[in-house]
Amino acid sequence: MLFDTEHAQLFDLVYTAKGKNYATESAAVVEHIRRHKPDARSLLDVGCGTGEHLRSLKDAFPDVAGIDLTPTMCELAQSKLPGVPIQVADMTDFALGRTFDAVVCLHSSVAFVPAEQLGTAITCMARHLNPGGVLVVEPWYAPEKITDRRVVGHVVHADGGVTIARVSHGVRRDDKHDLETHFLVADADGIRHVADVQVLGVYGHDQYTAAFAEAGCEPPEYFADGLCGRGLYVSVRR
């Protein structure tokens, strides 16, 4: 789904207000990168969203950049990261004309790629790595972790007197997870309803392993708990 301005702002408000610890997650990513490439200085964040991970990652790497498919996400990220190159690009087909010591794809952004393009996306990321560079990919939940027809809900209170009630309902359909989400947003202007449906890819370990191999990377390390329970793949470009 391509988020419009309101969806992008809600995404930003909900995840920051409900306590997603971007700084802690970023520190874990830095540790994985440093294990393989202690002297890494440059990093590309693919599917950077509103830039929250990059805000922390730029403290560890003096040369960072980000791409995202959604213009409104890029605009929000750029407003937080003046001077950092942020551009609209498709992770399955981008060419920045340079390479990096590390490429990361976090917050399950890769799950928005159709199964037939998973290898293409990983290959495109790997092409932007220096030899010996580190690729870190956070998938959506593994097939065995998906609970069909699960309902999740919470209420968050954001700055500016904004209260957001969010409920979601996920349905497993073969290798896809249809996630329908509804928001009730209350602020000084009143109460409004916003809804969206995201289709996330549910891909197995074999699919990811094959994608990394196709991209010319070492067999990836897999960390089942990952950054927030979704798993994490870490590999090195040959």
Cβ atoms of 131 and 100 closer than 8 Å: no
Q: How far from 229 is each of 3, 58, 140, 142, 182, CA to CA, in Å?
A: 24, 24, 9, 10, 23
**SS3 state at 88:** strand
Q: What is the pLDDT of residue 34?
A: 98
| Residue (of 104, 107, 111, 145) closest to 21 by Cα position | 107
Do 35 and 126 fall into the same domain?
yes
Query: Hey, which residues does 235 pair with through a beta bridge?
Result: 135
Do 40 and 156 fall into the same domain?
no
Q: Is the pTM of this model over 0.85?
A: yes
Distance CA 129, CA 135 (A): 8
Do 136 and 226 fall into the same domain?
yes
What's the number of domains the chain is made of? 2
Q: What is the pLDDT of residue 115?
A: 96
Domain region containing 17: 5-142+204-236
H or E element, residue 185: strand 176-187
The strand order across the sheet containing 176-187 reads 150-158, 162-173, 176-187, 190-201
Tens-place pLDDT, residues 28-61: 999 999 999 999 999 999 999 999 999 999 999 9
Q: What is the pLDDT of residue 159?
A: 84
State residue 34 phi and psi, 5-degree precision.
-65, -30
Distance CA 124, CA 129 (A): 9
Q: What is the pLDDT of residue 65?
A: 98
Do 173 and 220 fall into the same domain?
no
Do 127 and 185 fall into the same domain?
no
Do 48 and 154 fall into the same domain?
no
How open is the CA angle 197-198-202, to the nearest 5 degrees?
Answer: 140
Do 9 and 89 fall into the same domain?
yes
The CATH number of whichever domain residue 191 belongs to comes to 2.20.130.10
Do 67 and 126 fall into the same domain?
yes
Q: What is the pLDDT along the chain (238 residues), one digit of tens a residue?
A: 456 677 888 888 888 877 799 999 999 999 999 999 999 999 999 999 999 999 999 999 999 999 999 999 999 999 999 999 999 999 999 999 999 999 999 999 999 999 999 999 999 999 999 999 999 999 999 999 999 999 999 999 988 899 999 999 999 999 999 999 999 999 999 999 999 999 999 999 999 999 999 999 999 999 999 999 999 999 999 9
Long-range contacts of 228-233 (CB under 8 A, 24+ apart): 228/20, 228/25, 229/141, 229/145, 230/108, 230/138, 230/139, 230/140, 230/141, 231/138, 231/139, 231/141, 231/142, 232/32, 232/136, 232/137, 232/138, 232/139, 233/135, 233/136, 233/137, 233/138, 233/139, 233/208
H or E element, residue 186: strand 176-187
Do 166 and 100 fall into the same domain?
no
Do 10 and 126 fall into the same domain?
yes
Do 61 and 130 fall into the same domain?
yes
Q: What is the pLDDT of residue 19?
A: 78
Give me the residue label for tokens 């932007």. 128
Do 49 and 88 fall into the same domain?
yes
Q: What is the pLDDT of residue 3?
A: 62
The CATH number of whichever domain residue 105 belongs to comes to 3.40.50.150
